[in-house]
Amino acid sequence: MSKNFHAFFKKHLIRQTWASKERPVLINNWEATYFNFDESKILALAQEAADLGIELFVLDDGWFGHRDNDASSLGNWQVDKRKLPHGIRSLSQKIHEKGLKFGLWFEPEMVSPDSQLYQEHPEWVVKHPYERISVGRGQYVLDFANPAVVEAIFEAMQKVILETKLDYIKWDMNRNITEAYSPYLAEQGVSQTEFYHRYILGLYRLYEKILAAFPTLLIEGCAGGGGRYDLGILFYSPQIWPSDDSDAVERLAIQSGTLLGYPLSSFSNHVSAAPNHQVGRATSLAFRQTVAMFGPLGYELDLFHLSEAEKQAIKSQIVFYKKQRQLLTFGTFYQLQQLDHANETTWAVYDPQNEEALIAFFRVLAQANPTA
């Protein structure tokens, strides 16, 4: 059943531009810097990445407005000159000159109360007509049922994409919708029962406008992790971040479960630091790398704190991954053990045309004096 799902989604659902196209090996700066970065730190990290054979540098949250935490600046999609004094165009050019593609984080559907966009258009947020509305994660949800909102966000994003010659977008959504009411639909005399449907149609319109203008742009979807992992969004966003939990042991279950329905190419996997920032678990670099190789590969750790031996291990793994990338991203996937076998997991990918296969066996905990 899983193989049928995988084949159907790859052939009929995922946009053909990316259905069988190799995905770049990326580095995301988030867990290396969080909001605390400047141009020199980003460029130094990018150089380290290029030296390891990484192909795409992704600048995550914090590059715009005055975004020093997650309670500010959403909707102000202009570069923060305190952090990047030479501008986003200059940064992108310098990263491209290192032989890397360049990507940026956006959260297009959200707006912060302190943003210029909200000050100018408070009626553009999702809110019921009563006095009090809730703020979640320091932000409001924009009313994508309103075509004017979609157009305004497209124009802001288009300007940045053109300025940077952008190769990749990480499209995030970190707040659930509450007070599901559209002031725009109320003005139009449309029933609020249509709100969710019209919101998603507005979201699709934004994707369509961006991809019509920039058809080679790779968009990776994210919603607090895998909160919006569905077949509708997969058409526009051929790979999705399945979880903010990057711990390799947890990823065995996350990826195994995802692969019941979705193909390898549809989700990315990052090698993160040990101890892991989410759960505090320490695992070997080899274990983290092997788990992350199944599907589009990425890194999300501070390259400055790696030993020379660790850097060489990463470089060697990237060489191996690039050689086997088609197999690991688009091969036929097999789950060789039952999913309830918690301590052991075995994955395989197979290319029937070339009769090539890779098998990975994982054991989480060792047993003392096993009887068999």
Q: What distance in Å separates the CA atoms of residue 76 and residue 173, rounded to the nearest whole number?
A: 16
Tell me if 166 sits within 8 A of 102, measured CB to CB. Answer: yes
Q: Which amino acid is at 372?
A: A
Distances (CA, A) of 182 to 129, 153, 307: 9, 17, 53
244 is catalytic: yes
230 is catalytic: no
Q: What distance in Å separates the CA atoms of residue 87 and residue 302, rounded to the nearest whole number?
A: 24
Q: What distance in Å separates the CA atoms of residue 105 and residue 226, rounded to the nearest whole number?
A: 16
Q: Which of 80, 167, 172, 247 is catalytic?
A: 172
**If you write DSSP's letter for every residue of 206-225 in order, what string do you get?**
HHHHHHHH-TT-EEEE-BTT
Tell me if 168 sits within 8 A of 220, measured CB to CB. Answer: yes
Distances (CA, A) of 111 to 71, 124, 139, 201, 322: 10, 9, 6, 19, 39
Q: Could you give the count of Cα atoms lying within 13 Å of 201 in the half-sphere of its Cβ?
A: 8
- For the four alpha carbons of 103, 107, 112 and 118, in that order, the dihedral sign comes to positive
Q: What distance in Å separates the CA atoms of residue 150 and residue 144, rounded to the nearest whole number?
A: 6
User: Of the candidates 30, 53, 102, 82, which has an alpha carbon nearest to the alpha carbon of residue 278?
Assistant: 30
Structure tokens at 125: 């947020």
Q: Which of 68, 114, 230, 244 is catalytic?
A: 244
Element of type H or E holding 299: strand 297-300
Q: Which pairs count as long-range contacts for 332-337, CB under 8 Å and 24+ apart, including other chains?
A: 332/3, 332/6, 333/2, 333/3, 333/6, 333/259, 333/263, 333/264, 333/294, 335/2, 335/256, 335/259
Residues known to be catalytic? 172, 244
